[in-house]
Amino acid sequence: MNTAEKLSEMLQENTGRHFLDSGGAYGRHWERNQGTDFEAQPEGTLEFWNRDGELDIIPTLDVFHFLKDRLEYNPALDRQYQAWCEVKGEDPYSYGSALEFASNGGRGIYGDGDPFCINTYNGEDLLSQTLQYVYWTDDDGAHVLLQIHGGCDARGGYTDPVAFDLTCDEGLSIFDNAHAAIYCDGCNTAWDSDDGNHWTENGLARIRLEQFPATDEKPEYPAPFDPAQTTLPIDLPERPKFSAGVVWVDDEDNGHCPYCGGLLHASPWPAG
C-alpha cells in the first residue's frame, strides 16, 4: 500500500462514536469522508467575510494533500511498532504506547532532546482535520506515528497510530500546519502567513491583506502599471502597486485581489 492509499484508508477509518465525541446531528469526519476522491480535492479553500467593513479571512488546508506531500508510509516500521506493543503488552492504539516506542532509542529534532507529542488542535492550525502524532528522529531520519482525528469533538475519535517517514525539509515540514499562502491568479501577488491570521505580502512591510477594508460592491480597479509609459527613479526597488484599496467579497464568499480584482486562492506552504 502506498502513502496516498494509506492516508485515504485512515481518513475513512471508522473511529466510532466516543461519548466525548458529539456530531450525530451532522456527521463525523470519517462518516463524511466515505467514498471521497481525496486526490481530486483542492489543496486549499478560502472564504472571505465582510464583517461591517472589516475583512475576515478563513483559509483551510486539505489534510490529505498536506500529509501526502510530506510523508511516506513505512510498513516495516509500522510492523515493528505492532510487534513491540505485542511483546510489551502495550495497547497499540494508545498515544502513550506510541510515545514509549519512539522513546526507545529515538531522539528529538535534529537528534537533540527527546521524542515528543503534538496535537494540532492545541495551537494555530489551518488543516481540515486535526492531527495527533509522536515525532522522533533516529539514524534513518525523522518519523511520526500519526493519528488523524476522524470524529467531531477533538477529545475523542482518532485513528489508529500509523508509522510514516518525513520526506521534506529535514523532517520539519510536518510542523507547517498553520503556514499557508494566498495568491492572486491575476497579477500573481502573494501573501503568506505562519499563523493563519497575519498575511504579509511577499515578505514586504506593506499593508497586510487582512488590513484592507472589505466591500460587497465590485470596485473600479486602476489601470495596471506600464513601465513603458512611465519614468521612474532608477533606484526604485520594484514596480509600484496601484490599488482599489479594498478587498471585494462577492456573493460566493470569494475574495478579490485589492490590486487587480483577480480571484484569491489558498495553498499550503511548499513542503520543500
Confidence of residue 222 (pLDDT cuts 50, 70, 90): confident
Nearest 10 degrees: CA dihedral of 130, 200, 43, 69? Answer: -80
- Say yes or no to pLDDT of 161 above 60: yes
- Say yes or no to pLDDT of 53 above 90: yes
Domain ranges of the chain: 39-62+176-272, 71-166
| Predicted TM-score of the model (pTM) | 0.87
- Say yes or no to pLDDT of 38 above 50: yes
Q: From 264, 178, 250, select the one nearest 214 (Cα to Cα).
A: 250
Q: What is the CA radius of gyration of the chain?
A: 22
The larger pLDDT score, comparing residue 53 to residue 269, is at: 53
pLDDT at 233: 45
The larger pLDDT score, comparing residue 144 to residue 30, is at: 144
pLDDT digits (tens, 9 = 90+) for 25-36: 556 887 887 888
Length of the chain: 272
**Calpha distance 244→169 (Å, rounded):** 38
Per DSSP bridges, beta strands 190-193 and 180-184 are: antiparallel
Rounded mean pLDDT, 148-175: 87
Q: From 114, 148, 155, select the one nearest 131 (Cα to Cα).
A: 148
pLDDT digits (tens, 9 = 90+) for 54-108: 999 999 999 999 999 999 999 999 999 999 898 888 777 777 899 999 999 999 9
Whether the Cβ atoms of residue 146 and residue 135 lie closer than 8 Å to each other: no
Q: From 161, 29, 2, 6, select the one nearest 97 (Cα to Cα).
A: 161
Q: From 114, 2, 19, select the one nearest 67 (Cα to Cα).
A: 2
**Calpha distance 142→170 (Å, rounded):** 8
